[in-house]
Structure 1
Amino acid sequence: MCVVIPCFNEESTIGKVIDDFRKELPQAEMIVFDNNSTDRTASIAKSKNATVVRVNRKGKGSVVQAIFAHVQSDIIVLVDGDDTYPVKSVHPMVDCIQKGEADMVVGTRLETPGGNGMRWLHRFGNHLLTGFLNFCFRTKFKDILSGYRVFSKNFVRHIPLITTGFQIETELTLQAIEQRMTIKEIPIGYKERPRGSHSKLHTFYDGYRILLTIAVLLRDHHPLRIFSAVALLMAFLSIGCYLKIANTFGTILAVALLLLSFFMFGIGMVLSSVNTRFRELHILLKRK
């Protein structure tokens, strides 16, 4: 088992995070993945006898990709280095992996009274993005943006990751869905950042990137849904143009929109068929 801690300039909290997790999980290896910190994060981690791996490519997603490439443990605990997550919650999360109840366990912050450490705007945005993902992928998740997760070795081996920024938590969840992995959520508390620790999340910019990631993965994994929706919209616009614009231009526009609607639906059908073949191939490769 290992505890992996992605960090960027967390000198005020990293020592306490390492000490707390070492106390709860004395058998676990502590690995700090330092994303080009300019403060004493790396030196403090080394003084706590943690292994420090430097990741030069900027972004939390890049760090998690490095974690998945580097770590070979049977159970991997992923936690931020800002001391906002309750360390004692790690035990029920690890138990789920050890018992084979899940491939990934997520500590959810939004359903507990102890989750008040999150700023109201971040809480609202989290609810909004989680709701959008649930609507698009027909799921019932509570918190897709939590940075407190536990993975099985099988999960790490079979989940491809592409995003490089704060979208990584969303991608972890969506890729797990597509790979038919079992995901379990466990309610946890969430503390305010300690004095001297600053969030690297840019609320609106990173929120937009997360929203875009959901849309892109929906297009990639469920093209028929998104192209059918676009085709239906164009079909309604075609009918509207035909009924409301009673001239030659209106008729031409209506026909063009209707043809485009059929074209978009056809694209969705073709891409969906290609995806099905890739899923079948992936299943066969996993059997080898």
Structure 2
Amino acid sequence: MKNESSQPTVAVLLPCYNEEVTIGKVVRDFKRALPNADVYVYDNNSTDRTAEIATAEGAIVRKEPRQGKGNVIRAMFEDIDADVYVMADGDDTYPAESAPQMVEKVLEGYDMVIGDRLSSTYFQENKRPFHNVGNRVVRGSINGLFGAHVTDIMTGYRAFSFNFVKTYPVLSRGFEVETEMTIHSLNNNLKLYELPIQYRDRPEGSVSKLDTVGDGIRVMSTIFRMIREYKPLPFFGTLGVLIGLTGLGFCISVMIEFWQTGFVSRFPTLIGAVMLVVTGLLLFITGIILDVIAKNNRKTFIIESNRFAWLRRHIK
């Protein structure tokens, strides 16, 4: 997918919703940083002049009627072909001058380059304390589960390879899509690189579209769902062990009473305890079965990714 001068093609992806205050500067900055790149602005039902300003600045503007950042990214990944993709927000919080380094890392062979805000200025620039807490909670839970060391799980500034974009299934509809990308990459052992960037807060007059509580709940729901799907044995196994041990504890108390008196006076407790033990065993067995399926899914993903890469090389 090279152009006539055999240079890698680069696409800058800017999902936007009501960003007329900043979109003009963002497009100019990326055109300056990546002069040979195509800058795409996907307008997600904006009610202001976002699309008009982006067009005037030379961006390729397209409409996405399905509301939500995840839906916009899904459309971008489906529509646009390039060797390297750089994704940022239209709110002027991410430095375009870091984009060439991100592109270079993708060309070196990384599947996804993460613009790491948290190692630099995020906690000083971001004025929303609950967002800071949320980032720490999400980072700790995902790194702990996958044994990883990713610093910025939820950043919106990323660069991708062609193979990543065309094999990544975008399931989320909203802002939780970045968390989904990171979990997908860790689960499938993709090559990640974190590049520290200088984050800056939104300029005056620019309003965040994030709902701290609502989007936070959606992010945590996404983590819960993906842990259940990608790590079923720890999920169902832990739940099964806890329920089974609870039932076993009740069984032991009834058995002690039987040894002391020769009678079972708490039949409802005994029946409930046995049911808890059986439920715990079933959950543990379910975790084992789903874990085998999840491993087979990872094998299938690797095989399909290799086949996709082989076809792309030969089509070129």
TM-score class normalised by the smaller sequence: over 0.9
What corresponds to 1:14 in structure 2?
A: 23
Counterpart check, 1:36 vs 2:45 = yes
Query: How has the CA–CA distance of structure 1 residues 113 and 287 changed in structure 2, closer, same or farther, with 3 Å as cutoff?
Result: closer
Counterpart check, 1:279 vs 2:287 = no
Equivalence map 1:159-174=2 (5 Å): 159-174=168-183
SS of 2:170's partner is coil
What corresponds to 2:282 in structure 1?
A: 263
* Match for residue 110 of structure 1 among 118, 143, 148: 118
Partner letter of residue 163 of structure 2?
N
* Match for residue 238 of structure 1 among 242, 247, 255: 247
1:203-259: CA deviations, max 9, x gaps?
A: 111111111111111111221111101111112211332345662222222111110
What corresponds to 1:24 in structure 2?
A: 33
Unaligned 5+ runs, structure 2:
1-9, 258-265, 308-316
* Match for residue 54 of structure 2 among 45, 53, 56: 45
Report if the CA contact (8 A) 2:146-2:187 is conserved. no
What corresponds to 2:212 in structure 1?
A: 203
**How far apart are the structure 2 equivalents of 1:283 and 1:110?**
31
- Corresponding residue pairs, total: 287
1:161-184: CA deviations, max 9, x gaps?
A: 111001100111111223331111
Report if the CA contact (8 A) 1:116-1:190 is conserved. no
Per-residue deviation, 1:114: 5.8
**How far apart are the structure 2 equivalents of 1:114 and 1:269?**
40
**How far apart are the structure 2 equivalents of 1:14 and 1:36?**
15
Identity %: 39
The TM-score with structure 2 as length reference comes to 0.87
What corresponds to 1:182 in structure 2?
A: 191
Per-residue deviation, 1:115: 4.7
Bigger shift: residues 147-156 or 240-249:
240-249
Question: Which of the pair has more CA radius of gyration?
Answer: 2
Report if the CA contact (8 A) 2:113-2:159 is conserved. yes
The TM-score with structure 1 as length reference comes to 0.95
* Match for residue 65 of structure 2 among 39, 50, 56: 56
* Match for residue 129 of structure 1 among 133, 138, 141: 138
Unaligned 5+ runs, structure 1:
none
Bigger shift: residues 123-132 or 277-286:
277-286
What corresponds to 1:79 in structure 2?
A: 88
* Match for residue 149 of structure 1 among 149, 158, 171: 158
**How far apart are the structure 1 equivalents of 2:70 and 2:47?**
19
